[in-house]
Structure 1
Amino acid sequence: MSSYDEPGPRLRPNSLELNCPYCQARLSILPSQAGATTICPLCGGKFQAPLPTAQSPVEPQDYSQQDALVREFASKKIAAGVCGILLGGLGVHKFILGFVGTGILMLLVSVFGLCLYALPTMVMGIIGLVEGIIYLTKSDEDFYRSYAIERRTWF
């Protein structure tokens, strides 16, 4: 019995693309797994992967769509990095990246931290500063993988 890779933007070269017959998730398998009984990693459904036919050869992957997604998300990198450095304690950089819950948490800790001699506010400011520097020093691909695909909310 073989299994599929996790679905997502990372695809293996020479892989076969198909949809799970149960949940319609887009899956990627190795050519050697074609014809084997497989299990969908999302819904757990068992099915036999079809064999490739002469009419549908394995085509090279088109990475232009993924490159566009990387560029689009990386355009937020500068704004998030600068806001992390300047307004880090308020969590503005988290809102820019779409991490609303984490942004609200940083904002609340900073505001209510003023009641505790501003120590929590300073900690949030230092976290924002470090995260801003990390954002600005990552490559676009690494930034996209960390914060768009893996959805890493801290550092």
Structure 2
Amino acid sequence: MSNMQAVDILLVEDNPTDAELTLTALAEQRVANRVIWVTDGESALDYLFCRGAYRERDPTPPRLVLLDLKLPKIDGIEVLQALRADPMLSRLPVTMLTSSAEESDLARSYDLGVNSYVVKPVDFDQFSTEVSRLGFYWLLINHSPPYPQGRPE
């Protein structure tokens, strides 16, 4: 029996200010009841693949990953590649939520199967609005894909 409940959103963000703004925006709009925040790509992969500190968590994938591009240890591109290569997680909706507006980052993310790419607005109110819209769309409007049962051995 797992001791960690499944989450709606996995937030992968190394900037504490951006993470707090994101969490606040989601809470204010009540679009996500359960959010877990990790600060680097390695922790994101540990969470998603039920490894390390997360080996006892409920293996149900989150309904959405909000993934920063520029992360310590393992960057967002590598996290996305690992997700898309895994049969259990390849359908998981991923939104790149990043400060990078570079065309090469945008193209690479879509080439690897990101579902959406959002450049973080600098203005707090605009940032809050964008995050609220993301949560509303992915959790309340969008129909999540079915996932295979269990992890392959």
TM-score, length of structure 2 as denominator length: 0.24
Flag the structure with more relative contact order, 1 or 2, with Cα contacts below 8 A and sequence separation at least 6: 2
Max radius of gyration: which structure?
Answer: 1
TM-score, length of structure 1 as denominator length: 0.24
